[in-house]
Amino acid sequence: MMLLAVALATVAAAAALPTNDPQSLSKLRMIAQCAVKGDSQRVVRLLRSNYNQVNEREDLRDQARDQSRCLGEGRLRFTPLVYRGALAEMMLSARPADLGAAVKADGLPLKAFGALDVMALCAVREDPAGVGALFATQPGSAGENQAIAALSPALGGCLKSGVQANVNAVAIRSLLAVAAWRIADRAAHPKSY
């Protein structure tokens, strides 16, 4: 049975940790897909929660362990941020919607859980088409790098003055996926927020 280990790190520290290994990212996406198919309501609860709280990270870790049946033998390590991002991206792909329309429908501020979350929510609102283009790429690919480069102006413009972000492609994709899902989810279910 595949053993899943979720590193319990803060969001700021987690952003520097993710690996950009395409094979590991592919396995992680399989786990997330299995989670969404197996218990999408649990995934929704996790994605709506404040991921900076210890109990929420524990719930996320437990949920990831529950998906170990999906991959068989081996070991896979990832941060809570990266797993949340994979879950969010799978949820977005399970119910495709026009992200631009969701952004327009959701004009109210959405509670952010940290400086990087503020940046991601802002970037999704600033360039929903660019974020959608990112999600159309394979993780770890040259296309992903190009899509992130195209999003750099929005990401840089959305980073609060004085805040430094040391993030790689995996962290950026994860942050944007969670932000995009939260915006789309609130547009579809405003009473849940």
Give the DSSP letter string of 124-169: HHH-HHHHHHHHTSPTTSHHHHHHHHHHHHHHHHHSPTT------H
What's the pLDDT at 54?
A: 64
What's the pLDDT at 103?
A: 79
CA 15 – CA 165 distance, rounded (Å): 8
CA 174 to mean position of chain CA atoms: 3
CA 136 – CA 149 distance, rounded (Å): 15
- Three-state secondary-structure class, residue 79: coil
What's the pLDDT at 11?
A: 36
pLDDT in tens for each of the 193 residues of the chain? Answer: 333 333 323 333 334 445 667 788 888 888 899 889 988 998 999 899 887 776 767 777 777 777 667 766 666 778 888 989 999 999 998 776 677 788 777 677 788 888 999 999 999 999 999 999 999 999 989 999 999 999 999 999 998 888 887 889 999 999 999 999 999 998 888 888 7
CA 41 – CA 174 distance, rounded (Å): 20
Both ends of the chain: CA-CA distance in Å?
A: 37
Asked if 140 and 22 touch (Cβ cutoff 8 Å), the reply is yes
